[in-house]
Amino acid sequence: MNALWITLALLTAGFVGWPVTALVFRLARTIDDRADAGAGAVGAAPGATAEDPAADSTADVASPQPAADAAADAASEGTAAQAADDAAVSSARILRGGAIIGVLERFAVCLAILAGQPVAIAYVVAIKGLGRFAELKATPVAAERFIIGTLTSMLWAAGVAAVVKVLVLG
């Protein structure tokens, strides 16, 4: 019976954690957008645009042509900056593979807590950080996403594991 609860905890931590993390990213993006809008309204030069985190130089861009087309179309409507930002967001990918890494991270954190080896969480963070070090060093936006995603994933997995360990496994 314990194996069933452990399996259920791992699946919940691993796969339900993805929408939770996506929700936190969306919330962070909303907060950033509001801050950018507030900064743009107060003392910004006309035509100045806020820096788009997804349009970072280290992001993989599928094709630069759609971004240019979108910017040209929007220029005729007076919203070139917004269209360029939207096109860059749709074509840029920061921290590729993050969803798969996040699922594995949540599995490892949950399993470490259920096995009574919370020190193993340090290994997970170290491996994840070393694997992303070059990208995180070069891209502050990627570093911010890394921190938000890692903390959200770890808190979710630790919470699921703690609930199952305390309430079910005793």
**pLDDT tens digits, 103-157:** 999 999 999 999 999 899 999 999 988 988 888 888 888 888 888 889 999 999 9
Q: Based on the domain organization, do 108 and 42 belong to the same domain?
A: yes
Q: Based on the domain organization, do 106 and 161 belong to the same domain?
A: yes
pLDDT score, position 49: 45
Q: Based on the domain organization, do 113 and 154 belong to the same domain?
A: yes
Range of the domain at 89: 60-93
Q: Based on the domain organization, do 111 and 86 belong to the same domain?
A: no
pLDDT above 90: residue 163: yes
- Structural domain includes residue 51: no
Q: Based on the domain organization, do 8 and 74 belong to the same domain?
A: no
Asked if residues 21 and 151 have their Cβ atoms less than 8 Å apart, the reply is no
Specify the number of domains making up the chain: 2
Least confident of 1-5, 11-15, 56-60, 108-112: 56-60
Q: What angle do CA 167, 169, 170 make, to 5 degrees?
A: 70
**pLDDT tens digits, 33-59:** 888 777 765 554 444 444 444 443 333
Q: Based on the domain organization, do 14 and 82 belong to the same domain?
A: no
Q: Based on the domain organization, do 110 and 88 belong to the same domain?
A: no
> Quick check: helix, strand or coil at residue 87?
helix
Q: Based on the domain organization, do 103 and 74 belong to the same domain?
A: no
> Quick check: helix, strand or coil at residue 62?
coil
Q: Based on the domain organization, do 117 and 35 belong to the same domain?
A: yes
